[in-house]
Amino acid sequence: MYKILASMAATFLLSLALTPLIRGLALKIGAVDNPNARRVNKVPMPTMGGLAIFIAFNIANFALLRNQYPSDQIWPLFAAEVLIILTGIIDDIYELKPRQKMFGILLASLVVYFAAGIRMTTLTIPFVGTVQLGWLSLPITLLWVAAITNAVNLIDGLDGLACGVAIIALTTSAVTGYFFLNVTNTFVSIMMFTMVAALAGFLPYNFHPAKIYLGDTGSLFIGFMISVFSLYGLKNATFITIIIPVIILGVPITDTVYAILRRKLNNRPISQADKHHLHHRLMQMGLSHTQTVLVIYGIALIFSCISLLYSFSNLWGSLLLTVATLFGLEIFVEVIGLVGDTRQPLLNFIRNLVLKLSGSESKKNK
Closest Cα partner for 83 from 59, 61, 115, 125?
115
Closest Cα partner for 158 from 251, 51, 23, 258?
251
User: For 200-226, b where at least 16 C-beta lie within 10 A, e where not — what string?
Assistant: bbbbebbbbebebbbbbbbbbbbbbbb
User: For 299-322, b where at least 16 C-beta lie within 10 A, e where not — what string?
Assistant: bbebbbebbbebeeeeeeebeebb
Contact 285, 336 (CB under 8 A): yes
End-to-end CA distance of the chain: 73
Residue 58 labelled as part of a binding site: no
The contacts of residue 93 (CB under 8 Å, 6+ apart) are: 29, 30, 31, 48
Contact 48, 238 (CB under 8 A): no
Residue 216 labelled as part of a binding site: yes
Contact 221, 202 (CB under 8 A): no
Contact 205, 215 (CB under 8 A): no
Instruction: Compute the distance between CA of residue 311 and CA of residue 326 in angstroms, rounded to an integer.
Output: 18
Residue 38 backbone dihedrals phi, psi, to 5 degrees: -90, -25
The CA-atom distances, in angstroms, between 120 and each of 79, 328, 352 are 20, 30, 44
Other CB atoms within 10 Å distance of the CB of residue 366 = 4
Binding-site positions = 153, 216
Binding-site positions for Mg(2+) = 153, 216
